[in-house]
Amino acid sequence: MKKTILVTGGLGYIGSHTVVELQENNYDVVVIDSLSNSIREVAERIASITKMPIKLYIADINDESLIDALFKQETIDGVIHFAAHKAVGESVQNPFKYYRNNIDGMITLQKVMRQYHVDTIVFSSSCTVYGDTKNSPINETHPVTEAISPYGTTKLVCEQILKDLCRYSGFRGIILRYFNPVGAHPSACIGELPIGVPDNLVPYITQTAAGIRDKLTVFGNDYNTADGTNIRDYIHVVDLARAHVKALDYAFTMHQDYEIFNLGTGKGHSVLEVIKAFEQASGKPLPYAIGARRAGDIEQIWADATKAAQLLKWTHQYNLYDMMDTAWKWQIALNHKQSRQG
Ligand code: NAD
Ligand code: WQD
C-alpha cells in the first residue's frame, strides 16, 4: 500500500523538488505551506512534471487547530519538515521571527504528530550547525558549535527537540544537514524563487547574467584557499530531493532512534570556480568584481557524505556544470514567465 507523506513547506525550493521525487517514487503527498516564501502556482508546476495532483493545505504549521484537523482528515504515515524561514541576515535583524516560526513550528508539528501516533519524521537541518571549522571534509561526528546566527540557533534547537522525542517518545527521526543546495529541476518548471535581492551566490549569478543585477561582488579573495575565495560544497537540489526519498525509506525501517546525515557532494568549489562553471554552462561572460569579505563567512567547508552513501545508498549524480546549467535554464524560464505576466 502507498504511504502518505505530509510535506511541510512543500511549495518551497527544496520541498517542491522533493514532492516531485516522492510522487515519482510511489508515495502519496499532502503539502502544507503558508506561502510566506513561495507561490500557489508551484503546485501546478509540480503537477505538470509528475502528472499527479497534490493535496494542498495553504496554512501555517503554527496553527495547531488546523494541523490537528489535517491529521484527523488525512492518514499520514510520515512527515518531511521543510517549513521554516531561512535568511541568515534577516534572522540577525529579527531573531524572534525566526524563533517563533522555526522553533514553535517544530514544536506544534511534533505535538500533533505524537497525538496521532505518527512517529516518522525527516527534518531539514543545515551545515551551519558546524559553525566555523577548518577541518573539512566534515562528517556527522564533528561537534556542532554555538550557532553563528539566530537562524542557526533554530536549527540546533530543532535538532535537539527531535533527538529528545526519538529518545523518550518513540519517534524515529532523520536529520539531514544540507550543504549548499543550488540548481533547478531539469524541466525548468520549478526552481528557487528568491524574493528581492538574493543573498545566495547562485541566484545572484543567474540574475546578473539575466541583466537584473549589474555585477556580482565576490566577497573577498584574500582567504587561505588556492584562489583566495571561499570554498563550499554545492549540491544539486534534485540530488538533495532524491536523498529525502532514500531517507524516508530508511526511516520506515528504523526502530525508535535518530540518525544524522550530511548531504553534499564531498567536493569543495571556490567562488571563482562557480563563476567559471556558470560561464561555461551559459556561454555568457559574467560581470563581477572582487569586493570586501562578508561578515560571518566561513573560509571553507565541505562534506564527508560517506554515511549517506553507506546507509541510504545515496550519492550525488549532478556535477557543478549541471548545477549551473539547470540554474540558468530556470532563470531564463522565470524571465519568460515574468515578461508574459507584464
Ligand atoms: P524555502 O523558503 O524555499 O521553502 C520553505 C517553505 O516553507 C516556503 O514555501 C514557505 O512558504 C514555507 N513556510 C515557511 N514557514 C512556514 C510555516 N510556518 N508554515 C507553513 N509553511 C511555511 O526554503 P528552502 O530553501 O526550500 O529550505 C527548506 C528547508 O531547508 C528550510 O528548513 C531551510 O532552513 C533548510 N535549509 C535550506 C538551505 C538552503 O540553502 N536553501 C540550506 C540548509 C537548510
Ligand atoms: C556562498 C559563497 C559567499 C553571494 C548560506 C547559509 C547557510 C545555508 C546555505 C541554510 C560564500 C560567496 C555569495 C555574493 C559572493 N543555508 N558570495 N557573492 O553563505 O555558504 O550559506 O546558505 O541553512 O546557513 O549561511 O551561501 O550562497 O550565501 O554563499 O561572493 O553575492 O558565495 O561569500 O563564499 P553560504 P551563499
The yes-or-no verdict on residue 43 having pLDDT over 60 is yes
Testing ligand 1's pocket by substitution, the residue of 30, 58, 80, 82 carrying the most ligand atoms inside 8 A of its CB is: 82
User: Which one-letter DSSP state was computed for residue 312?
Assistant: I
154 lines ligand 2 (CB under 6 A): no
206 lines ligand 1 (CB under 6 A): no
The residue among 246 and 53 whose pLDDT is bigger is 246
User: Which one-letter DSSP state was computed for residue 288?
Assistant: E
Long-range contacts of 226-230 (CB under 8 A, 24+ apart): 226/270, 227/270, 227/272, 227/273, 229/270, 229/271, 229/272, 230/270, 230/271, 230/297, 230/298, 230/299, 230/300
User: What's the pTM?
Assistant: 0.98
Give yes or no for a contact between 59 and 32, defined as CB atoms under 8 angstroms apart: yes
The yes-or-no verdict on residue 319 having pLDDT over 90 is yes
User: In 34-50, which positions are buried (b, 16+ CB within 10 angstroms) versus exposed (e)?
Assistant: beebbeeebbebbbebe
Of 232, 234, 229, 231, the C-alpha closest to 293 is 229
Testing ligand 1's pocket by substitution, the residue of 14, 57, 148, 239 carrying the most ligand atoms inside 8 A of its CB is: 14
123 lines ligand 1 (CB under 6 A): no
Q: Which atom of ligand 1 sits closest to the CA of residue 128?
A: 43
In-domain check, residue 299: no
In-domain check, residue 340: no
The yes-or-no verdict on residue 342 having pLDDT over 70 is no
Q: Which residues contact 141 (CB under 8 A, 6 or more apart)?
A: none
In-domain check, residue 295: no
- Residue keyed to cell 501555517: 60
Q: Which atom of ligand 2 sits closest to the CA of residue 204?
A: 31
In-domain check, residue 199: no
pLDDT computed for residue 166 by the predictor: 96
204 lines ligand 2 (CB under 6 A): yes
In-domain check, residue 104: yes
Provide the number of structural domains found in the chain.
Answer: 1
The residue among 53 and 205 whose pLDDT is bigger is 205
pLDDT digits (tens, 9 = 90+) for 65-106: 999 999 999 999 999 999 999 999 999 999 999 999 999 999
In-domain check, residue 227: no
CATH number at residue 80: 3.40.50.720
Active site residues: 151
Q: Which residues contact 136 (CB under 8 A, 6 or more apart)?
A: 231, 268, 300, 301, 302, 303
**Beta sheet of 78-81, edge-to-edge order:** 55-58, 28-33, 4-8, 78-81, 120-126, 172-178, 257-263
Residue 279 backbone dihedrals phi, psi, to 5 degrees: -60, -40
In-domain check, residue 328: no
pLDDT digits (tens, 9 = 90+) for 258-290: 999 999 999 999 999 999 999 999 999 999 999
In-domain check, residue 119: yes
pLDDT digits (tens, 9 = 90+) for 93-152: 999 999 999 999 999 999 999 999 999 999 999 999 999 888 899 999 999 988 889 999
**Among 44-53, 111-120, 192-201, 265-274, which stretch is predicted with the lowest mean pLDDT?**
192-201
pLDDT digits (tens, 9 = 90+) for 166-185: 999 999 999 999 999 999 99
Structural domain of residue 161, as residue ranges? 4-183+234-264
The yes-or-no verdict on residue 195 having pLDDT over 90 is no
